[in-house]
Amino acid sequence: MSEVLTLDVENLSFRYRHREEFAIRDISLSMGSGELVLIAGPSGCGKTTLARCVNGLAPRSYKGELKGSVRLQDQDTSGIALSKISQMVGTVLQDPDRQILGTKVFSEVAFGLENLRMERQEILARVEETMEYLGIAQLRDRDTHSLSGGEKQKIALAGVLAMRPNLLLLDEPLASLDPASAQEALNLLRRLVDEGLSVLIVEHRVENVLKISPDKVMLMELGRVSYYGEASGLEHAADYREVKLPARMVMKLAGAAGAVPEPRLRVNEPEAEPAELVQFEDVSFEYTKGVEVLHDVNLVIRRGDIIGVLGPNAAGKTTLIKHAIGLLKPKSGTVMVEGKNTHELTVAEIASTLGYVFQSPSHMLFAPSVSEELAFGPTNLEHSPEQIEKEVKEAIDIVNLSGMEDDPPLALSFGQQKRVTIAAILAMRSKILVMDEPTAGQDYKNYMDFMDAIVRLPNFEAILFITHDIDLAVVYANRVILVDHGTIVADGAPYQIMKDYQTLLDSRLLPTSLLDANLEVFEQSQKFLRAEALAHYFPTLD
């Protein structure tokens, strides 16, 4: 007797109710118990739509036309209630803020079990067991709103695993995690698979997922499957300019002819004494009395800086940046923006100097259309109508949102929403651009394209980006700041900071294949390069 498949998708197509085109077409895949399948592809290619069809949200919550079939444990989902499907498929969303409803961690993990009307003792046992299994028992009594993005992701996963589904579906689960936490999460997924759980993971960080040996990889493009097979076939199936592959694989594919010029923020000579734009002097801050989140922070942001801000989850990175834009005021010490104390400035006044892209798009988006969203900031800054029209168009072009000007931002995919938030700040033309996790939910080509464009824009006097993506700092930063335990533990040129692997590891940052390759040839190159540009330093790769 053949094994019952955990998931069997056959000739699946789906069209959203208010769209003429199908979002996905003729998708087929199957999974048995204890299998791991990776789905990758550009933002907006249909990955999330496929996930919604698998977990039953389409066409129940997301109305539209569905063709083909989705079977779970040999049951056609068209005849199964969504409540029943949710017990068979546990879903973890890419934006944990959209999934967490409870105010306390314990009640959040228990939420799904309570909806199933389980006995109290069974709920308590499952919640305790799951949190212990995930290594997050210490968060049991925390307020969910006080958690970092990575901690929220773990809580969302705990709530799903407590329901003991047959299939675990994860949509961009690594987006909010620091490198060490991401690797721990992937190791956990590998353990779950080895113990018999089926795992379907939608993820842009292909290189990371390859480390845990997925059974199959599916590449999607324009709603269709462009490749479905063994991971070893990716080298020939994937375009290294669109999918982030291991550095040596890219170098092998690119060859010496693939070298590209490195983008620079300024083409002229750097200033001997660049102007100081923002100063932190002995800054400390606490959300809860007696618990300092920042302490004794001293930092100067100068004209010409392109700063990669790195560090583990809950290190204080976002809290630090929110002080620069005036959303938070220091408990002690001072923050000066262009020589003025932020205690004496409103957020609106600071916005003309610092434009901030939030980590979660849902914290920024509200307008009925993309173009109106982008025009809001410049309008408040009293830019002229002609200037606003030009700024909006240029921002849309930079982040590759052409054709979506009239779309509601909140109806877009997470990756597209993230690009809308970046474009909204680009349109404001602030002097300093600050981005919190700009690559979250982004495919490789999109974020490399918009980062290339952003660092060339002459209106930005400085750029800061908070990131868990070490390679983003390798390629674009001219200065790296490590934040950990609420203070700055290292600050300097990328090579000086990132050659010290022990310091990186202490801050839960894992060296990447691109960093390894750059350090190997740094004496020759004298600068950090992207993988294509490294190819001619490794001519004997085979």
Confidence of residue 256 (pLDDT cuts 50, 70, 90): very low
- CATH 3.40.50.300 is held by the domain 7-238: yes
Sequential DSSP letters for 395-426: HHHHTT-TT-TTS-GGGS-HHHHHHHHHHHHH
pLDDT at 253 over 50: yes
pLDDT for 268: 45
Q: How far apart are CA 45 and CA 273, in angstroms?
A: 47
Task: Quote the tokens at residue 19.
Answer: 């769209």
Assign residue 74 a region (left: φ > 0; alpha: ψ between -120 and 50; beta: otherwise).
left
C-alpha 390 chain-centroid distance: 29
Asked whether the beta carbons of 342 and 350 are under 8 A apart, the reply is yes
CA-only gyration radius of the chain, Å = 23
**Alpha-helical regions (H) of 266-346:** 317-324
Asked whether the beta carbons of 323 and 494 are under 8 A apart, the reply is no
Per-residue pLDDT tens over the stretch 6-25: 999 999 999 999 888 999 99
pLDDT at 408 over 80: yes
Sequential DSSP letters for 62-92: S-EEEEEEEEETTEEGGGS-HHHHHHHEEEE
Asked whether the beta carbons of 220 and 49 are under 8 A apart, the reply is no
Confidence of residue 258 (pLDDT cuts 50, 70, 90): low
Peptide bond before residue 361 is cis, with ω within 30 degrees of 0: no
399 CB neighbour count, 10 Å cutoff: 25
- Geometric angle at alpha carbon 59, from 55 and 63, rounded to 5°: 135
Percentage of the chain lying above the pLDDT 70 cut: 96
Confidence of residue 542 (pLDDT cuts 50, 70, 90): low
380-401 mean pLDDT: 92
Of the two residues 101 and 441, the one the predictor is more confident about is 101
526-536 mean pLDDT: 89
What is the four-CA torsion angle of 60, 61, 62, 67, rounded to 10 degrees? -10
Confidence of residue 257 (pLDDT cuts 50, 70, 90): very low
259-273 mean pLDDT: 54
Q: How far apart are CA 105 and CA 4, in angstroms?
A: 36
pLDDT for 260: 54
pLDDT for 134: 83
Per-residue pLDDT tens over the stretch 452-511: 888 888 889 999 999 999 999 999 999 999 999 999 999 999 999 999 999 999 999 999
pLDDT at 1 over 70: no
Taking the alpha carbons at both ends of the chain, their separation in whole angstroms is 44
pLDDT at 404 over 70: yes
pLDDT at 343 over 80: yes
pLDDT for 274: 87
Percentage of the chain lying above the pLDDT 90 cut: 63
Of the two residues 176 and 406, the one the predictor is more confident about is 406
Task: Quote the tokens at residue 42.
Answer: 């550009």
C-alpha 136 chain-centroid distance: 21
Asked whether the beta carbons of 451 and 399 are under 8 A apart, the reply is no
pLDDT at 270 over 80: no
Residue 449, amino acid? D
Q: How far lies 354's CA from each of 273, 324, 351, 374, 429, in Å?
A: 21, 8, 5, 16, 9
By CB neighbour count within 10 A (0-12 exposed, 13-18 middle, 19+ buried), where does 266 fall? middle
Per-residue pLDDT tens over the stretch 409-454: 988 877 788 889 999 999 998 999 999 988 887 888 888 888 988 8
38-64 mean pLDDT: 93
- CATH 3.50.50.60 is held by the domain 276-494: no
Of the two residues 487 and 101, the one the predictor is more confident about is 487
**What are the residue ranges of CATH 3.40.50.300 in the chain?**
7-238, 276-494
